[in-house]
Amino acid sequence: DARVTQTPRDKVTEMGQEVTMRCQPILGHNTVFWYRQTMMQGLELLAYFRNRAPLDDSGMPKDRFSAEMPDATLATLKIQPSEPRDSAVYFCASGTTLYEQFFGPGTRLTVL
Amino acid sequence: DQQVKQNSPSLSVQEGRISILNCDYTNSMFDYFLWYKKYPAEGPTFLISISSIKDKNEDGRFTVFLNKSAKHLSLHIVPSQPGDSAVYFCAASGGSNYKLTFGKGTLLTVNP
């Protein structure tokens, strides 16, 4: 049963600290997405990659967020420095078709 | 500017009855629409989709209707079951990119 995995599942940190979230896409999926879910904004697309190349990161605050795919089995989302307003659930998703995306369980981030 | 709107934050129905979840969109470039279902502490999972060349798509108890002139789609669940209780997200995509734009979700509660 192929699934997208995300680590950590929960992260509590203090303002100003660096946060790194990791995602392992489903083997063979060549498109990877990062989303953020908040009560106010719902599900927002932060960035996505196709064949490891970043295609769009317009949804991401550039000054503090960065997303990379060091290899086909790992995607990372970093926040440095973190702020309380970054508190949210961050989802990674992967896919191959134009539209269907398989989501991971999410990382719940709390910045104090 | 929200391009995909789910105006009902919540909906409560009795088991066995029909659940109707609604979604409106503003971007006329959207040509593919999806519904995702999300349980607590899990990522969204794909439920059903519809292309703009159709006005109806059915999969078991789930039917999605698309009214392009009104820029409106709806998800019908018949009969509703307690296990259907979840947050339902409407999503839309258009053009050749891989981006999905999500609504904020509707919490469906099916009472036994």
Specify whether the CB–CB gap between A92 and A28 falls below 8 A. Answer: no
Distances, alpha carbon B42 to alpha carbons A12, A16, B38, in Å: 19, 28, 7
For the segment B3-18, the average pLDDT, to the nearest whole number, is 96
Question: What's the rounded Cα separation, in Å, for the pair B23 and A71?
Answer: 37
pLDDT-derived band at B96 (thresholds 50, 70, 90) equals: low
CA distance to partner chain B, nearest, from residue A105 (Å): 4
Residue B90 buriedness (CB in 10 A; 0-12 / 13-18 / 19+): buried
Q: State the SS3 of chain B.
A: CCCEECCCCEEEEECCCCEEEEEEECCCCCCEEEEEEECCCCCCEEEEEEECCCCEEEECCEEEEEECCCCEEEEEECCCCHHHCEEEEEEEECCCCCCCEECCCEEEEEEC
**Whether B105 and A43 lie within 8 Å, measured CB to CB:** yes
Backbone angles phi, psi at A99, to 5 degrees: -125, -35
DSSP A96: S
Specify whether the CB–CB gap between A17 and A79 falls below 8 A. Answer: no
**Whether A99 and B45 lie within 8 Å, measured CB to CB:** no
Mean pLDDT per 10-residue segment, chain A (112 residues): 93 97 95 92 90 89 93 96 96 85 96 96
Instruction: Name the token pair of B84.
Output: 């259907």
Predicted pLDDT at B25: 96
**Whether A31 and B89 lie within 8 Å, measured CB to CB:** no
